[in-house]
Amino acid sequence: AQSVTQPDIHITVSEGASLELRCNYSYGATPYLFWYVQSPGQGLQLLLKYFSGDTLVQGIKGFEAEFKRSQSSFNLRKPSVHWSDAAEYFCAVGNTNAGKSTFGDGTTLTVKP
């Protein structure tokens, strides 16, 4: 069975600091991996995705993620966090039908001024 673990429930960083959100997955085949962001009261917006190819993936809003097969990880990074990045972040793993994904429990990001 596929699963996703986001070890950090809540992370607080200062504005301008770097950010890394961790994601570990379990999947029987080559995974399709996603990071979504959710602002309060809103739906989920795709930040970036990995299907194949280059293991370093660039996304929107200055985010990037690196797929490491040996570590079963797909960590999300941003070099300099902005106050508007405060939100909940979800990692997901799926198959070719991308909506049928398994989601992690999410990491809530707080940004200090």
Partner 1 sequence: DAEITQSPRHKITETGRQVTLACHQTWNHNNMFWYRQDLGHGLRLIHYSYGVQDTNKGEVSDGYSVSRSNTEDLPLTLESAASSQTSVYFCASSQTGSEAFFGQGTRLTVV
Measured at the CA of 17, the angle between CA 107 and CA 73, to 5 degrees, comes to: 45
**Which segments within the chain are labelled E, that is strand?**
3-5, 10-14, 19-21, 24-26, 32-38, 44-50, 56-58, 64-68, 73-78, 87-94, 101-103, 107-112
What are the phi and psi torsion angles at 6 (to 5°)?
-110, 100
51 binds partner 1 (CB under 8 A): yes
The smaller minimum CB distance to partner 1, of residues 81 and 91, is found at: 91
The smaller minimum CB distance to partner 1, of residues 46 and 56, is found at: 46
42 binds partner 1 (CB under 8 A): yes
104 binds partner 1 (CB under 8 A): yes
Binding span for partner 1 by CB under 8 A among 10-18, 22-30, 61-69, 93-101: 93-101
43 binds partner 1 (CB under 8 A): yes
The smaller minimum CB distance to partner 1, of residues 15 and 73, is found at: 73
Residue 1: exposure state from Cβ atoms within 10 A (0-12, 13-18, ≥19): exposed
**Binding positions for partner 1, rule: CB under 8 A:** 4, 34, 36, 41-46, 49, 51, 90, 92, 96-106
